[in-house]
Structure 1
Amino acid sequence: MTEARPVKRQARGRQRIADILDAALVLFAETGYEGTSTNAIAARAGISPGSLYQFFPNKEAIAEALSTRLLEQMKAAQSSAFDLTRVTDLTLDELIDRMVDPLIAFNLANPGAKALMANTDMPARLGGAARPLQQAVVGRVAAIIEARSPQLPAAERNLTAMVTVRIVAAMMPPIGAAQGTERDALIAELKKALRGYVAPLEAR
């Protein structure tokens, strides 16, 4: 019995942390980072503010923990999409599908991630919380560009990767807000824009 109680407390603690992060993700999607308070997160998680502070000292700590969790989920979702051993065998359209579709699925499943990834309304001091998410995607895209277009200088390759990710990020809100055929049309336009941007680089 004495061993079971700590285990149960640890399990409850992990579940409480997960509930807090889930609540924060939903609220960041609904009201943005600045518009979300720790009291609102606690209420959405079904706990008291005092219970929240047992796990996180402030909203910044919640954002950092949420960024870490989202980064791990993104890595898992994109493990096959960013497989460098195969990208050179794909057509450009196939490559765009493999890169964009997991990003869209990830953002649709985690709408609050935009407040962290795009850093839309977060204060400058929180750049560190969002930076791992941003750098992970840009770095992977740059690696793919290098594999397919090794002649590009590193500076141009990295700039292209950054712009590519920004194009995708800019289209995520309207894609997330749309439904059915409208969403399909927006995704098709996004892929068309990426094809037009990247194709000249591969033709060099």
Structure 2
Amino acid sequence: MPESRQTQPTDEKVEKTTEAATTPRRRQARGERRIAQLLQAAAGVFCRTGYAAASTNAIAREAGVSPGTLYQFFPNKEAIAVELGGRLLHDAHEMHGQAFLPENLHKPLPELLDAVLDPVIAFNCENPAFWALMHGSGVPGIQQEHEELHTSLLTRVEDVLRSFCPDSTPAELDLVSNMILGIFKASLDLILATEGAERAAYVAELKAVLLRYLEPMITEPHPL
């Protein structure tokens, strides 16, 4: 009996400690879900209206919460755009890594174009807010990170070209890489503005344009 009286307070203390530790985690999980909800709403608003015309009230309405709830997590729409843009940029970096896998770079040019372009196009179609923020927001933090992403992508393209065209000069590789990205970005505007069969047709045209542009430059057989 004495042992039982000593054990009970100890058990109660353990339960209270466990509950105290669990409560902050639950609050944190709820907060993370709310942030994800607000970012998803912001993505929709930015796509429809653009960053400049968007407002925190519109984002709160889209999320189905009060403006006061939004301000508990973000002080203004720039903070929302920076957080959303940062997450999308992180995902874009990971996607580029998958698109430019070493095994893809040993494929013939038509298959290489499929392997690289398909995931990049799919990412932009699945995340239209990425295009809206990167090319029209004017948010300083996002612009700087977007420039870093562009530089990284340009380097990846140059590396691929170098393997196909080993005799090209650095200036030639830089010129062609910038042309490829320019063609891609112009085509992506058309791709994102369409759906279904029309979108697929624009994707096919983009690949055809790049194939015809690059084929004459390949002076050496690509190593298998």
Could you give the per-residue CA deviations for residues 32-83 of structure 1, whole angstroms, max 9, x where no partner exists? 1112112211221222223222322222222222222112322333433201
Task: Say which SS state the counterpart of residue 20 (structure 2) adopts.
Answer: coil
Aligned-residue identity in percent = 41
Question: 1:124: Cα distance to partner?
Answer: 6.8
Q: Residue 111 in 1 paired to residue 128 in 2? A: yes
Deviation above 4 Å: which 4+ runs of structure 1? none
Name the residue aligned to 2:191.
175
Distance in 1 (alpha carbons) for counterparts of 2:191 and 2:118: 12
Name the residue aligned to 1:166.
182
CA contact (8 A) 2:82 2:139 kept: no
Distance in 1 (alpha carbons) for counterparts of 2:173 and 2:72: 45
Structure ID, larger Rg: 2
Q: Residue 139 in 1 paired to residue 155 in 2? A: yes
Distance in 1 (alpha carbons) for counterparts of 2:64 and 2:147: 30
Q: Residue 193 in 1 paired to residue 206 in 2? A: no
Relative distance call for 1:54 and 1:94 in structure 2 (3 A) is: same
Which stretch shifts more, 39-48 or 95-104? 39-48
Amino acid at match of 2:163: A
Could you give the per-residue CA deviations for residues 138-188 of structure 1, whole angstroms, max 9, x where no partner exists? 332233223333433334323432332232222223223323322221111
Selected match of 1:27 from 45, 56, 59? 45
Relative distance call for 1:174 and 1:10 in structure 2 (3 A) is: same
Relative distance call for 1:131 and 1:178 in structure 2 (3 A) is: same
Selected match of 2:138 from 123, 135, 146? 123
Distance in 1 (alpha carbons) for counterparts of 2:155 and 2:66: 40
Name the residue aligned to 2:110.
93
**Unaligned segments of structure 2, at least 5 residues:** 1-18
Distance in 2 (alpha carbons) for counterparts of 1:62 and 1:129: 15
> How many residue pairs get matched?
201
- RMSD (CA atoms): 2.3
CA contact (8 A) 1:39 1:49 kept: yes
Distance in 2 (alpha carbons) for counterparts of 1:157 and 1:181: 34
Q: Residue 44 in 1 paired to residue 44 in 2? A: no
Which stretch shifts more, 164-173 or 14-23? 164-173
Q: Could you state the TM-score of these two structures normalised by the residue count of structure 2?
A: 0.78
**Unaligned segments of structure 1, at least 5 residues:** none
Question: 1:103: Cα distance to partner?
Answer: 1.3
Q: Residue 7 in 1 paired to residue 32 in 2? A: no
Q: Could you state the TM-score of these two structures normalised by the residue count of structure 1?
A: 0.85
Distance in 1 (alpha carbons) for counterparts of 2:125 and 2:32: 25
